[in-house]
């Protein structure tokens, strides 16, 4: 409920005050003024003080009163001020906005902004005056900025609202009114959240955990099978080796074959020994590579570095003084000079080296240089020895290899001889001997035994190769299993994240769907409530043939009551304006109802709002003005109307007059201000004589 509006230096008002009627039976305040007298400025004063906004006003930058600006000296300041007093929640509020401008030169009527203030004060129940910490936000809580357009408006807004192309205003108004935009934002946000979790789910669930686990199980099974195979092959090999040994013993029982077999056994033992030696030589070669193999590659770097150091020494950049510790090191057994020359104890050279112990301590660089140089001999020797030893070992290994090859040939020859000899077997002691795939009772000659032996040896060699291949494959599988284990751990972690994302996404979706359903129902509910009030008001005063309705698409339409079809715009301008006012009235009504009901159940707390209208009759004909006049007092608990004299003619004055609690005249003087500037005075009129048409 607005109580008082005070204007100072605001546009053409130097110092004006309007007290609004708060009488419930005479709830209308009428402000009379001719065109250009300042009616629209008063409407703008409401918007400016509350929201720092102006509409439909010429030269909005010229806020300061021109007379005040003209009277001000250059460099001095003029303060523009609007104050609105109103009651909200039974508390008296004072909202004040000030803007101070500084005059720059004699022709400056705008001024440069130097200060602005916005304050809100309210008197608490205990009589204390308090200020909210954020006054702008506080005001917007009382009346949302967007709603202000519905409650402070000019005649053209009414025409716009009823126009067929402006139906968005209707829906927007309802949504704003009931806080539905909050739900919409929540729905949009939930949709975004859902999309975010869907993306997380897609990203996290990209690896197929199941596929990895299946692969791991398959590989583990394959590994187990191979290990079992290797074990089997080892057992087979061991058995075959025992059988070969048994055959060897059987062959040794024979007369002529015995000697050959014994020889073969000797050769096989010798070959085994040589193979062990060859393995040792290979180990030696590997040690050589590990310990000194690198020298070949760094010798040039060492030689070049030593050359540079020698050059630095020659240039005197490295002093020749020696560290005592280093001299001691050289003299330690076996004593050797830097160049590698032996330093026999007591010899002339040893004495010379010893004499170079000094009190001077060499720097780190000197020490590093000396250390490198001192090892040159050792490095050179190690390098030479490396190649000598490699040559020696490789040669030995070659000789051994040749010997192994020769022995293997002999062994092979013996086998052939035994087989060719084919010594008959008459009395063979086979007690306790069992050889697979060989019926010992059926063996007739040494050739049979030798053939069996050769076959088993061949199988053993084949098994050795198979086992090596299997072992390599097992190693490969183990590596893959290890890798899979890591991938599975990673995929499981991602799976957990994916599960969480899925649950969150489903949660967001469920809430969004619920909210959408609720939004739809709530919106329709509000529409029906508004619709009911609009039609009540409309049907009371408008043509009975028509019906005003807010469609389910939120269009404010005028329908033919009998046929339910839309009425053409040209045929229903007056009715549309009535419908628009009825609609605004319905919103004020709903806001009040909302305010007085349980506030916790809705998003908008509502309020008791006045309606401030500038020239609400527009270009309506007399008949429709009369009808609109019937509507206006019912639109809100408090109505402020700004009219020209011609608009206040009957039937308007007749209809509204009894409901008017206060009249004001705007007395405009085009050049009555300072230096001939325009000025408007506001005069309260106790009872204005009604002008009749």
Partner 1 sequence: MSSTQSRQSYKQSPIYEKLVDDHDIFPNNIDCFVFAASVGYSENRYDPDDYTGDGEMLWMHFSSRDLYRAAAAAIAYQHTGDPEALTDPDTQLEVMAQYAAGGAMFLEEKFGEMKETSRDGLLNYIQSHSSPDERTEENEMIKKIAQSFDQSMFSD
Distance CA 646, CA 620 (A): 12
State which residue, 192 or 294, has the beta carbon closest to partner 1.
294
Helix, strand or coil, per DSSP, at residue 328: helix
Least distance in Å: CB of 353 to partner 1? 6
Radius of gyration of the chain (CA): 56
From 193, 373, 451, 515, residue interacting with partner 1 (rule: CB under 8 A)? 373
Distance CA 379, CA 382 (A): 5
334 binds partner 1 (CB under 8 A): no
Cis? peptide before 210, omega within 30° of 0: no
From 104, 211, 320, 683, residue interacting with partner 1 (rule: CB under 8 A)? 320
* DSSP assigned state of 600: G
State which residue, 197 or 386, has the beta carbon closest to partner 1.
386
From 78, 250, 369, 425, residue interacting with partner 1 (rule: CB under 8 A)? 369
Q: What is the distance between the terminal CA atoms of the chain, rounded to a whole angstrom?
A: 33
Distance CA 101, CA 99 (A): 7
Q: Is the dihedral of CA 641, 646, 652, 658 positive or negative?
A: positive
141 binds partner 1 (CB under 8 A): no
384 binds partner 1 (CB under 8 A): yes
291 binds partner 1 (CB under 8 A): yes
Q: Interacting stretch for partner 1, rule CB under 8 A, among 331-339, 495-503, 607-615, 675-683?
A: 331-339
- Single out the residue of 236, 232, 264, 233 nearest to residue 449, CA to CA: 264
Q: Interacting stretch for partner 1, rule CB under 8 A, among 45-53, 60-68, 290-298, 559-567?
A: 290-298
387 binds partner 1 (CB under 8 A): yes
Distance CA 587, CA 603 (A): 15
Least distance in Å: CB of 362 to partner 1? 11
482 binds partner 1 (CB under 8 A): no
324 binds partner 1 (CB under 8 A): no
DSSP code string of 198-255: HHHHHHHTTS-HHHHHHHHHHHHHHHHHHHHHHHHHHHHHHHHHHHHHHHHHHHHTSH
∠ CA 157-163-650, rounded to 5°: 60
From 182, 365, 510, 685, residue interacting with partner 1 (rule: CB under 8 A)? 365
478 binds partner 1 (CB under 8 A): no
From 117, 185, 349, 471, residue interacting with partner 1 (rule: CB under 8 A)? 349
Distance CA 447, CA 438 (A): 13
Least distance in Å: CB of 295 to partner 1? 7
Cβ 659 vs Cβ 29: under 8 Å: no
State which residue, 327 or 428, has the beta carbon closest to partner 1.
327
State which residue, 342 or 658, has the beta carbon closest to partner 1.
342
From 142, 187, 226, 338, residue interacting with partner 1 (rule: CB under 8 A)? 338
Least distance in Å: CB of 275 to partner 1? 15
Residues β-bridged to residue 32: 643, 665
- According to DSSP H, which parts of 339-445 are helical? 348-355, 364-374, 376-421
Least distance in Å: CB of 349 to partner 1? 8
Residue with token string 């104890």: 345
Total number of residues binding partner 1 (CB under 8 A)? Answer: 60
From 297, 431, 442, 686, residue interacting with partner 1 (rule: CB under 8 A)? 297
372 binds partner 1 (CB under 8 A): yes
* DSSP assigned state of 361: P
Helix, strand or coil, per DSSP, at residue 548: strand
380 binds partner 1 (CB under 8 A): yes
Distance CA 182, CA 186 (A): 6
Distance CA 70, CA 73 (A): 8
- Single out the residue of 177, 124, 134, 150 nearest to residue 46, CA to CA: 150
480 binds partner 1 (CB under 8 A): no
From 96, 277, 292, 396, residue interacting with partner 1 (rule: CB under 8 A)? 292
481 binds partner 1 (CB under 8 A): no
From 31, 43, 250, 322, residue interacting with partner 1 (rule: CB under 8 A)? 322
Query: 64: Cβ–Cβ under 8 A, 6 or more apart, which residues?
Result: 9, 78, 80, 99, 101, 109, 110, 111
416 binds partner 1 (CB under 8 A): no
346 binds partner 1 (CB under 8 A): no
Helix, strand or coil, per DSSP, at residue 362: coil
Helix axes 167-177, 155-162, angle to 10 degrees: 100
From 308, 395, 528, 623, residue interacting with partner 1 (rule: CB under 8 A)? 308
508 binds partner 1 (CB under 8 A): no
Least distance in Å: CB of 379 to partner 1? 6
Binding mask 98-137 for partner 1 (x = CB under 8 A): ----------------------------------------
State which residue, 303 or 496, has the beta carbon closest to partner 1.
303
Distance CA 20, CA 328 (A): 113
By CB under 8 A, name the binding residues for partner 1.
282, 285-287, 289-310, 312-314, 320, 322, 337-341, 349, 352-353, 356, 364-365, 367-369, 371-373, 375-380, 382-384, 387, 390, 394
């Amino acid at each position: 409920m607005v109580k008082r509006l005070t204007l100072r230096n605001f546009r053409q008002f130097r110092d004006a005050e309007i007290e609004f009627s708060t009488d419930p039976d005479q709830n209308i305040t009428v402000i009379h003024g001719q065109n250009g007298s300042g009616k629209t400025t008063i409407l703008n004063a409401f918007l400016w003080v509350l929201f720092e906004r102006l509409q439909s006003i010429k030269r909005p930058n010229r806020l300061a009163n021109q007379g005040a600006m003209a009277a001000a000296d250059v460099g001095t300041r003029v303060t523009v001020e609007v104050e609105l007093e109103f009651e909200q929640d039974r508390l008296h509020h004072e909202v004040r906005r000030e803007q101070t401008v500084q005059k720059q030169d004699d022709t400056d009527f705008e001024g440069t902004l130097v200060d602005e203030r916005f304050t809100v004060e309210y008197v608490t129940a205990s009589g204390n005056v308090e200020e909210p910490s954020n006054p702008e936000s506080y005001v917007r809580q009382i009346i949302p900025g967007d709603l202000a357009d519905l409650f402070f408006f000019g005649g053209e807004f009414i025409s716009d609202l009823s126009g067929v192309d402006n139906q968005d205003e209707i829906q927007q108004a309802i949504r704003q009114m009931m806080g539905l935009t909050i739900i919409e934002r929540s729905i949009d946000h939930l949709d975004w959240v859902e999309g975010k979790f869907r993306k997380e789910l897609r990203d996290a669930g990209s690896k197929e955990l199941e596929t990895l686990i299946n692969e791991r199980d398959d590989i583990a099974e394959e590994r187990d099978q191979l290990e079992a195979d290797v074990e089997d092959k080892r057992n087979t090999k061991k058995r075959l080796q025992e059988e070969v040994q048994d055959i060897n013993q059987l062959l040794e029982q024979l007369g002529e074959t015995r000697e050959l077999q014994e020889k073969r056994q000797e050769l096989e033992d010798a070959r085994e020994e040589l193979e062990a030696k060859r393995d040792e030589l290979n180990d030696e070669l590997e040690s050589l590579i590990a310990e000194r193999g690198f020298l070949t590659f760094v010798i040039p770097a060492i030689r070049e570095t030593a050359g540079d150091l020698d050059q630095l020494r020659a240039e005197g950049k490295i002093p020749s003084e020696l560290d005592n510790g280093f001299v001691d090191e050289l003299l330690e057994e076996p004593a050797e000079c830097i160049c590698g020359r032996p330093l026999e104890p007591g010899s002339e050279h040893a004495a010379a080296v010893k004499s170079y112990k000094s009190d001077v301590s060499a720097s780190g660089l000197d020490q590093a240089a000396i250390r490198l140089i001192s090892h040159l001999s050792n490095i050179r020797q190690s390098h030479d020895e490396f190649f000598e030893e490699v040559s020696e070992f490789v040669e030995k290994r070659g000789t051994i290899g040749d010997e192994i090859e020769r022995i293997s040939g002999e062994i092979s020859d013996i086998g052939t001889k035994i087989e060719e000899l084919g010594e008959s077997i008459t009395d063979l002691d086979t007690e306790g001997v069992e050889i697979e795939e060989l019926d010992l009772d059926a063996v007739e000659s040494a050739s049979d035994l030798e053939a069996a032996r050769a076959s088993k040896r061949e199988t053993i060699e084949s098994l050795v190769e198979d086992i090596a291949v299997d072992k390599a494959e097992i190693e490969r599988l183990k590596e893959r299993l290890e890798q899979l284990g890591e991938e599975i751990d990673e995929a499981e972690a991602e799976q957990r994240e994916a599960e969480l994302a899925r649950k969150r996404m489903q949660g967001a979706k469920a809430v969004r769907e619920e909210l959408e359903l609720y939004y739809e129902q709530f919106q329709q509910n509000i529409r029906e409530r508004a619709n009911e009030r609009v039609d009540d008001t409309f049907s009371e005063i408008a043509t009975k043939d028509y019906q005003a309705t807010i469609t389910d698409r939120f269009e404010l339409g005028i329908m033919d009551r009998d046929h339910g079809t839309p009425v053409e715009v040209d045929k229903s301008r007056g009715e549309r304006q009535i419908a628009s006012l009825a609609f605004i009235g319905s919103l004020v009504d709903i806001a009040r109802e909302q305010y007085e009901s349980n506030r916790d159940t809705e998003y908008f707390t509502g309020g008791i709002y006045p309606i401030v209208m500038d020239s609400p009759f527009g270009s309506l004909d007399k008949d429709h003005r009369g009808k609109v006049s019937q509507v206006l007092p019912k639109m809100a608990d408090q109505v402020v109307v700004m009219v020209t004299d011609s608009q206040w003619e009957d039937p308007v004055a007749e209809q509204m007059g009894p409901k008017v609690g206060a009249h004001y005249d705007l007395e405009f003087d085009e050049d009555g201000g300072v230096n001939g500037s325009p000025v408007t005075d506001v005069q309260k009129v106790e009872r204005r004589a009604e002008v009749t048409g």
